[in-house]
Amino acid sequence: MTTVDTSYWCERVQTCFSMFLENPHTLQHLLLFGPPGSGKTTSAGWLVDRIWGNRKSLMCISMNAADERSLESIRQKVFPFLSVDWRTEEETAPRFLILDECETLTEAAQLSLQTILNTDPRQICVILICNSQSRIHPKLRQRLLKIRYDPPNRFQESNTLFTAITRGDLRLIERKKDTDERIWKYIHSHPSQWKKLIRESNMDYQMILSELLLLGDMFEILDTDLVEKINMIYPFITDTTYLYTQTENQLIDLIRVFKDKIEKKCHVEKAK
């Protein structure tokens, strides 16, 4: 069984998943959302591993929706799994369907999951994973137990915490150009332009924060100070209508800190 360090999961996640493990009948269809590196995918895999052990390959299907985001992929891979149950009469824990980066699924593919959500979660537990719940179709969101993940509450000296960021929606060709353009502006724009950048962006605040995390990982500038600032701001950006002015100012300050650290690092590199 894989060993997972759960200490960096926020208390909310630790409490929920401990309850699910001790009492699998309490499981609901889940929507796990939060920033990259916060433990969403790891915690889902950890739960299946703990419940099913070496039988997990029979009891769980896991897909990265960024790579297989069409309705046809759902039909070809998910529905055959649902039709065959390998559990014995003594085994009462649910089987699992895990869809990572599910915000990248097409609308048709997302809506096709409604049929699966009609299944009792004690039989088939659906776990959708994403960075921003705003990209999940409302018809799905209202039927899922939503668990918000905070940024990691520890800083790893090796700076590996965010190196595995996948950000499937950033890999989409039609969005990559916009992302690259915003990242360029984070670095090169004058601070007076940041408010306009935030307000004109088609992305929500969670996306902006994810892009800043990618930027920090790219330049290897993530440190305790930045992680603490991210921890402070993230709870306020899950609802972009809450404390709008204060949240906006916090994001602008975060961009400023990133820009300062990037410039400092560049000066050091040039001096070498």
**Residue-wise pLDDT tens digits, 15-30:** 899 999 988 888 999 9
pLDDT band at 51 (very low <50, low <70, confident <90, very high): very high
Rounded distance between C-alpha atoms, residue 120 and residue 6, angstroms? 28
Alpha helices, DSSP H, located in the chain:
11-22, 40-52, 56-59, 71-73, 79-83, 107-117, 138-141, 168-171, 173-188, 194-200, 205-219, 224-233, 244-271
54-68 pLDDT tens trace: 888 889 998 886 666
Domain boundaries, the chain: 11-148, 168-263
Percent share of the chain, pLDDT over 90 = 13
Residues 233 and 244: their CA atoms lie apart, in Å, by 12
Q: Assess contact for 258 and 214: CB atoms under 8 A.
A: no
Q: Pick from 27, 51, 55, 58: which is nearest to 120 by CA?
A: 27
**CATH class label, 11-148:** alpha beta
Q: What is the mean pLDDT of residues 201-229?
A: 72
pLDDT band for position 159 (cuts 50, 70, 90): very low
Supply the DSSP symbol for 55.
Answer: G
What average pLDDT is seen over the chain? Answer: 77
DSSP 113-165: HHHHHTS-TTTEEEEEEES-GGGS-HHHHTTSEEEEPPPPSS--TT--TTTT-
Residues 76-110 have pLDDT tens digits of 788 788 888 888 888 888 999 999 988 888 888 88
